[in-house]
Amino acid sequence: MIEAIFVSKKSRQALQQTHAVQVVFGWGITGDRHFKKANKKGQNITFIEAEAVDEYNQLLGQAISPQQTRRNVITRGVDLNALVGVEFSIGGAKFKGVELCQPCSVLGRLLENQWVSRSQVIQAFLGRGGLRADIISSGVVGVGMPLIISLGAAVKTSS
């Protein structure tokens, strides 16, 4: 399920939460800083599991919000790592998982503080940093919508 959606009109600007976004085949999210700027596969849209943020906070005693990860779509109950190379849909929009979003020094710099080092941030998000995907069919993505794999079965959710 889609728990939250974030966009930013300009690079390095704070992400703004929105209830729904228009996604456009090959171009990205309308109104986002990366719209029409994809130079390689996987740059249209990013996802992260809310559970990964929860685990990060628990592991390191932090209280970051999902938007601080700079990912566009926050999911809950979806194994995003299993979607690399897989087509899935949200509402009428279709996507293809391209690669995992491995944590980088930028994320480390953004989340480091007096209690947590840059390397601890990166280590905590290794293998849990989210998913980069291409938009293969335009549509609207909204909070509360389920994520469905192309075979027609909903991705397993945790109760």
- Report how many domains make up the chain: 1
Q: Is 70 inside a domain boundary?
A: yes
Structural domain includes residue 155: no
Sign (positive or negative) of CA dihedral 148, 152, 156, 159 = positive
Residue 7 within a domain: yes
Average pLDDT, the chain: 90
User: What domain range is 32 assigned to?
Assistant: 2-149
Q: Is residue 78 part of a domain?
A: yes
Cβ-contact 3, 50 below 8 angstroms: yes
Give 151's pLDDT tier (boundaries 50, 70, 90). Answer: low
Does a structural domain hold residue 139? Answer: yes
Q: Per-residue b/e over 31-54, b at no fewer than 16 CB within 10 Å?
A: ebebbeebeeebebbbbbbbbbbe
Query: pLDDT, tens digit, for every residue of 47-76?
Result: 999 999 999 999 999 999 999 999 999 999
Domain harbouring 76, CATH code = 2.40.33.20
- Whether 159 is covered by a domain: the verdict is no
Domain presence at residue 76: yes
- Residue 113 in any domain: the answer is yes
Q: What is the Cα–Cα distance from 126 to 153, expressed in whole angstroms?
A: 28
- Taking the whole predicted model, whether its pTM rises above 0.85 is answered as yes
d(CA 49, CA 90) in angstroms, rounded, equals 15
When pLDDT is averaged across residues 15-37 and rounded to a whole number, the result is: 92
